[in-house]
Structure 1
Amino acid sequence: MRAPKEGGPFSIRLRVYYEDTDAGGIVYYVNYLKFMERARTECLRAQGYSQAQLASEVLFVVHSAEARYHAPARLDDELAVTAEVIELNRASLRFRQQVRRVTDDALLCEGQFVVACVRAENLKPQVIPAALRAAFAAVQSMSAGD
């Protein structure tokens, strides 16, 4: 796992295991969404917050997801999965994400995800707490190269 380098997006590395593939040894399409979820979670953790720590007050839920598949990942590939905040609103944020194969930097999958902040007790929209907002703003500015 690594933090953004020189203005780049946050990134983690993952290995493709047998459980991630279909009968043909190719990563099953829905697993890319899982890989991207892990990158968003680790991005939050890198800012000093864990999902478990926040769960008593606020949750982050996926409001919408868009994914485009370009090339397959295969068993034992090492992947780099990015999470870049591209839009920060009062109660939501938008991530741009990519999954690339490490050996040749091939773009395998890319997508955008709108993640909403909700109250844990009733799942109603919640303004992103100030400290979290500042953390996400820092990730956003790092990605923009500020």
Structure 2
Amino acid sequence: MRAQNGVQPFSHHCRVYYEDTDAGGIVYYVNYLKFMERARTERLRELGYAQSTLAGEGLLFVVHSAEARYHAPARLDDELVISADVIELNRASLRFRQQVRRAADNQLLCEGQFLVACVGAENLKPRAMPQTLRAAFAEPLGAGLSEAGE
């Protein structure tokens, strides 16, 4: 299934702390990936699923591939808004489009796409998402989903 345009993305707010920056007070590039991971985790939590509970049920989400583009630096004490928009939903994977923006001026700082696979905790092999979880990801997208040849 593929999501179409016009859907309001989920967003998560966070602050840039000293530990997130280099000596010049600029966010170290890999920390944007951490910010985006947190937004995906919070998106899951908002849908009523905690990763710790899913792991206890033998289900994990792992990043299969990541792509990031950096546009402008975030700095110490900036408030960031991180989106986590599901743009593709398959039987055992999700593709997220994410953006990191500075809250004060809505400046795009970093954007990326992440293919996240659902795997069994015991063998780390692909596993179909439970239908209730898959439906929870699809629901906010509503009519914005169309079949993509699963």
Are the equivalent residues in 2 in contact too, given 1:51–1:59 (CA < 8 A)? yes
Report the Cα offset of residue 7 of structure 1. 3.7
Deviation >4 Å, runs of 4+ = none
Measure, in 1, the Cα distance between the counterparts of 2:142 and 2:34. Answer: 25
Q: 1:64 aligned to 2:65?
A: yes
Amino acid at match of 1:33: L
**2:88 aligned partner:** 87
**1:119 aligned partner:** 120
Q: 1:34 aligned to 2:34?
A: yes
Are the equivalent residues in 2 in contact too, given 1:61–1:115 (CA < 8 A)? yes
**1:3 aligned partner:** none
| Structure 1, gaps ≥5 residues long | 1-5
Amino acid at match of 2:70: Y
Report the Cα offset of residue 70 of structure 1. 0.1
**1:18 aligned partner:** 18
Q: Secondary structure at the match of 2:43?
A: helix
State the TM-score, normalizing by the size of structure 1: 0.91
Are the equivalent residues in 1 in contact too, given 2:68–2:112 (CA < 8 A)? yes
Measure, in 1, the Cα distance between the counterparts of 2:141 and 2:67. Answer: 20
Report the Cα offset of residue 139 of structure 1. 3.2
Amino acid at match of 2:121: A
**2:3 aligned partner:** none
Are the equivalent residues in 1 in contact too, given 2:7–2:141 (CA < 8 A)? no
Measure, in 1, the Cα distance between the counterparts of 2:124 and 2:106. Answer: 39
Are the equivalent residues in 2 in contact too, given 1:85–1:139 (CA < 8 A)? no
Q: Secondary structure at the match of 1:66?
A: strand
**1:50 aligned partner:** 50
Q: Percent identity?
A: 73
Report the Cα offset of residue 138 of structure 1. 1.5
Measure, in 1, the Cα distance between the counterparts of 2:139 and 2:110. Answer: 25
Question: C-alpha deviations, 1:103-138, integer Å up to 9, x for none?
Answer: 000000000000000001111100111011001111
Q: Secondary structure at the match of 2:22?
A: coil
Report the Cα offset of residue 141 of structure 1. 3.2
Report the Cα offset of residue 11 of structure 1. 0.4
State the TM-score, normalizing by the size of structure 2: 0.89
Are the equivalent residues in 2 in contact too, given 1:84–1:139 (CA < 8 A)? no
Q: Secondary structure at the match of 2:19?
A: helix
Measure, in 1, the Cα distance between the counterparts of 2:142 and 2:83. Answer: 15
Amino acid at match of 1:42: E
